[in-house]
Amino acid sequence: MEIPNRLVQALYSGVLNGSVYGLMAIGLTLIWGSLRMLNLAHGALYIAGAYIAYGVLGGLGLPVPVTFALAVGGAALVGLFIQLILINPILEKPGRDSAALIATLAASIIVQSTILLIFGGQTKQLPPVVDGGFKVGTTLISYQGLVVIGAAVVCLLLMTIFLRASRLGLAIRAISQNMDAAKLMGIPIVPAFVVVMVISAALAGLAGVLLGSILFFTPSGGFTPMLMAMVVTIFGGLGSVGGTIWAAYIIGLMESFLAVYVGPSWALPGIFLFMIAMLVIRPNGLLGLGEVRRL
Amino acid sequence: MLKVTDLEAGYGGSQVLHALSLHVGDGETVVVLGPNGHGKSTLLRAISGLIRPSAGRVEFNGVDLTRLPTEQIVGSGVVHIPQGDLPFPEMTVLENLLVGAYRPGAWSERAERIEKVFHLFPALAERKRQLARSLSGGERRMLALGRGLMSKARLLMIDEPSLGLAPLVTEQVYETIDEIKRSGLAILLVDENAEHVAGLADRMYLLEAGVLVREGAAADLLRDEALLAAYLG
Amino acid sequence: MIEANAPRQGQALPRSAGDRPRLRPAARPWAEPSRLGIGIVAVAMLILPWALMLVDGGNYVTHLIITFFVWGIVAQCWNLIMGVSGVYSFGQLALFQVGAFTTGVLSFSVGVSPWVSIWVAPIAAVAAALIIGLPTLRLRGIYVVLLTLAFHELLRNWITTGPQWISGGGYGLARVPRLGFDRLLGPQYERVFYYYTGLVLFGVATYAIWRVLNSPIGLAFRALRDSEDYAISRGVDPFRFKLFLFAFSAFFTGLAGGFSAHYNGLASTSLFDFGVMINLLVMIVLGGWGTFAGPIFGTAILTFLTELLRAFDLYRILALGVAMAVIAVAAPEGLVPVLTRAFHSLFGVLFEADEPPAT
């Protein structure tokens, strides 16, 4: 039987990208759902994960899994700082929507330029956890790619379970569905925000670390993934975790199919055009909760 | 139990409540009657911390609640069930109730509390895996009440429980509140219409334009002809 | 609600010597700035380039001022959209580039005279704005962010990877024809003419924006920003206003882009960089988000500060980020309102106090 090479390639890249987009988008959608805020620092957190891993590897030479864990933790810490220093103080102020935009943008600049100062601007790459791969037709499927997919899927599942089954997850969902009612249930709002931000930062950092072992990265490399994550978030419905996961894979596959069958430079424009069309026709997203009035 | 003194509160520039004082005793059911837009909801929101009072004091069992964040007010046992409450729409009935038991003290007892709530609201028990947004108006109101009971409430503040409900359902809602009352919980209920609360109230206040104009034992107020005309039907 | 009062001339607010008239951010409708103040400033600005030519390094200062003119226009336009009307558009830079590349392509690759193509630039920018605006402006804020960012990316992609006559190999078009000023009085006076052109453009744009801000349209915009729902209920149709505003600011932005292309002799793809956008954003945020004088102030500070810190370029962006963070947390309204309030409170006792700026 002849192997449909392009199909295999598209499927593999699509699932790979989709997994990573899912990790990033979940964080965005959680933040949006509970804080009603667009986190423009998300891309920076993603790339911070990759760079922290790079730095730790280069500097301390710890085994790779430990390094990756540290990187994720590092990204979470950065997120914590951002939340405590920049976000919490402006939560109560009027005009907090624009202030939040500026604050997260500022955070993103600070993180990126710090990375630039420390590591320089040349492209870097992380070593893979496992080497090698196998071919299906002309498509190279690296073991590292499978590791990435596997890790992402596991994390996505864990997140879903966390949100559905744990007390804290319940609280976060409550806040995003009806903040006043959540307050009246005695849920402490500000600590919940902090938790959401930390989780979201950790996921972004993880995404960065995972992809960093497959692709090259530069200090400003977080921008495009963040943009894609935003597309996924909107497509899946702002605030809906289940929808976001579906959307991540759909968009990932769409992107790779466009790249393989039409041409690589058509992938991004195609996705954006699709998104514009979708926003005009069906603004609520795929499985979304419906348009939110603020921001 | 609950002592409100000289409470002033409002939104933005406009003040809604003026030097308002009331109290609710242990196990009492107190009803605040007032026309729409005169500050009933504002009163409850000021007590539960959703809005901050600009002046005055709210005390509960000796603890000053006045400017505490809502989560602490709830923690001390004052549970506010807001008007026309749409519970968490994307959660099941069961999950909605569980959220009610968020506070640590209540969480550990959640299994028993759920049993009690299902006993009180059999309709909810049947629908426990249904999403809240698919419930009817009356069922949602029951859910809101039930959720309020999941926490260790000592005082339940209910805002217009029958708003927008059909007459038959309204009956059921008030009957349920009556059962809650009989279980010994203190209740502060605000409403527009005296018809249904007549049987429930121990004491009543009248709220007009953000000021409490009358106060007294329910029985006394309800004998007043003028009042009956204004607030019934 | 709009009273038909005659504007009060000669208000008691004192002017410190030798500054450009700092209009109060919420000038009453039809308020008029002091004619004398404007006159003095105008004369000063007219003489300035000649004076600078006599000074060592004055040529460079003139260049900086021209840069200030260009970015001052763009900053004001962006502020009009984001700060005043609350539309979170990140497409301003893209519109600038539309202007720059339109005139660049027309004059360089096609051979049209720059004096003609420079007027096509704003038209192209308006067309682009309408194309983006029609689907986008109906949607809520977060979608606008995404769509305008997407537009920026798409345009960047398209221009950078486009055919040679657009992309110039990826870096942009170099050797865009200049405006031919060198033929007037000789090459050493060329810059002076660019200065005047820039001054005129800046003046016209600033004036137009000022008129818009202080007209009923401007009030409607501010109503939109402060409470969209209320404004709608009072009969303000947000979409048409936003579209008009978007096109209006695109016009001047495109014009600035075109002028910049001819002045610098190039249309560069590096202006798509995020760093440039950040620079622009800080100009608005630093000076005063949503105010009239804010972006002007901010652009001035940033243009000259950038020069001073040129040696520390790497740290500059970091410092900008920190500055933005500090402003967002401590003074989200920017420096102009803060300073204005400080000014009022310091001197309010001595002079007749007007109502505080109500931006």
Last residue of a domain, one of C272, C299, C326: C272
From the CA of A129, how many Å to the nearest CA of chain C? 33
Q: Which strands, in side-by-side order, build the sheet including B78-81?
A: B78-81, B155-159, B186-191, B29-33, B203-208, B211-217
* C43 within some domain: no
Identify whether residues C185 and C120 lie together within a single domain.
yes
- The answer, yes or no, to whether B and C have at least 3 beta-carbon pairs within 8 Å is no
More confidently predicted of C343 and B78 = B78
The angle at the Cα of A30, spanning A28 to A36, to the nearest 5 degrees, equals: 85
Q: How far apart, in whole angstroms, are the C-alpha atoms of residue B4 and residue C2?
A: 43
**Chains within contact range of chain C (3+ C-beta pairs < 8 Å):** A
With 50 as the cut, is the pLDDT of residue C5 above it?
no
**Residue C254 — very low, low, confident or very high, per pLDDT cuts 50/70/90?**
very high
**Residue B228 — very low, low, confident or very high, per pLDDT cuts 50/70/90?**
low
The answer regarding whether domain B2-231 maps to CATH 1.20.1440.230 reads: no
Least confident of A246-255, C51-60, C169-178: C169-178
If you average pLDDT over residues C78-88, what whole number do you get? 84
Task: Provide the pLDDT for residue A132.
Answer: 77
If you average pLDDT over residues C308-318, what whole number do you get? 73
Provide the number of CB pairs (under 8 Å) joining chain A to chain B.
68
Contact A103 C325 (CB under 8 A): yes
Of A177, A183, A188, nearest to B91 by CB-CB distance is: A177
Identify whether residues C268 and C333 lie together within a single domain.
no
State whether ipTM is beyond 0.90. Answer: no
Identify whether residues C279 and C172 lie together within a single domain.
no
Domain that includes residue A184, residue range: 5-281
Strand, coil or helix: C196: helix
Closest chain B residue to the Cα of A169, Cα to Cα: B99
| Residues C85 and C225: beta-carbon distance below 8 Å | yes
Task: Provide the pLDDT for residue C358.
Answer: 42
Task: Provide the pLDDT for residue C234.
Answer: 66
Last residue of a domain, one of C242, C272, C302: C272
Amino acid symbol at C237: D
Best probe of the A interface among C93, C142, C154, by most A CBs < 10 A, is C142
Top mean-pLDDT range of B43-47, B120-124, C69-73, C164-168: C69-73
Last residue of a domain, one of C252, C272, C292: C272
Task: Provide the pLDDT for residue C224.
Answer: 65
What is the per-residue pLDDT across B188-197, written as a single tens digit (0 to 9) for each?
988 887 777 7
Identify whether residues C322 and C223 lie together within a single domain.
no
Task: Provide the pLDDT for residue B85.
Answer: 67
With 60 as the cut, is the pLDDT of residue C212 above it?
yes
If you average pLDDT over residues C205-219, what whole number do you get? 83
What is the per-residue pLDDT across C128-166, written as a single tens digit (0 to 9) for each?
999 888 878 777 777 788 888 888 888 888 888 777 777
| Residues C78 and C92: beta-carbon distance below 8 Å | yes
Closest chain A residue to the Cα of C155, Cα to Cα: A269
Closest chain C residue to the Cα of A82, Cα to Cα: C325
Amino acid symbol at C70: V
Task: Provide the pLDDT for residue A94.
Answer: 65
Task: Provide the pLDDT for residue C348.
Answer: 55
Least confident of B5-9, B11-15, C281-285, C293-297: B11-15
More confidently predicted of A275 and C31 = A275
Give the residues of chain A that fall short of pLDDT 50.
286-295
Of the candidates B195, B231, B181, the one whose C-alpha atom is nearest the C-alpha of residue B26 is: B181
From the CA of C305, how many Å to the nearest CA of chain A? 18
More confidently predicted of B60 and C57 = B60
Identify whether residues C188 and C166 lie together within a single domain.
yes
* A70 within some domain: yes
Cβ–Cβ contacts within 10 Å for residue B96, how many?
Answer: 29
Of B86, B95, B98, nearest to A178 by CB-CB distance is: B86
Count the domains in chain C. Answer: 2
Task: Provide the pLDDT for residue A116.
Answer: 86
With 90 as the cut, is the pLDDT of residue C333 above it?
no
**Residue B139 — very low, low, confident or very high, per pLDDT cuts 50/70/90?**
confident
Q: Where are the beta strands (DSSP E) in chain B?
A: 2-11, 14-24, 29-33, 55-60, 63-64, 78-81, 155-159, 186-191, 203-208, 211-217
Of A32, A224, A279, nearest to C139 by CB-CB distance is: A279
| Average pLDDT taken over every residue of chain B | 82
Contact A292 C140 (CB under 8 A): yes
C139: contact with A, CB 8 A cutoff? yes
Identify whether residues C186 and C224 lie together within a single domain.
yes
With 80 as the cut, is the pLDDT of residue B3 above it?
yes
Strand, coil or helix: B118: helix
Provide the chain A residues 223-282 that lie in CB contact (below 8 A) with chain B. 240
Identify whether residues C158 and C305 lie together within a single domain.
no
Q: How far apart, in whole angstroms, are the C-alpha atoms of residue B129 and residue B174?
A: 25
We report the CATH number of the domain holding residue A118 as 1.10.3470
Alpha helices in chain C (DSSP H): 35-53, 58-79, 92-104, 114-136, 141-160, 164-167, 182-185, 190-213, 216-226, 228-233, 238-264, 274-287, 293-308, 313-330, 335-347
Contact C328 A227 (CB under 8 A): no
Identify whether residues C234 and C252 lie together within a single domain.
yes
* C41 within some domain: no
Of the candidates B10, B43, B16, the one whose C-alpha atom is nearest the C-alpha of residue B191 is: B43
With 60 as the cut, is the pLDDT of residue C313 above it?
yes
Identify whether residues C206 and C283 lie together within a single domain.
no
Domain that includes residue C338, residue range: 273-359
Of the candidates B224, B170, B165, the one whose C-alpha atom is nearest the C-alpha of residue B197 is: B170
Provide the chain C residues 5-44 that lie in CB contact (below 8 A) with chain A. none
As a 3-state breakdown, chain A gives helix, strand, coil percent values, each rounded to 5, of 75, 5, 20
If you average pLDDT over residues C330-348, what whole number do you get? 68
DSSP state of B162: T
Contact A265 C161 (CB under 8 A): yes
Q: How far apart, in whole angstroms, are the C-alpha atoms of residue C76 and residue B33?
A: 54
User: Chain A contacts of B88, Cβ < 8 Å?
Assistant: 173-174, 177-178, 181-182
From the CA of C331, how many Å to the nearest CA of chain A? 10
pTM more than 0.90: no
**Residue C257 — very low, low, confident or very high, per pLDDT cuts 50/70/90?**
very high
With 50 as the cut, is the pLDDT of residue B174 above it?
yes
Here the tokens at position A53 are 């891993």
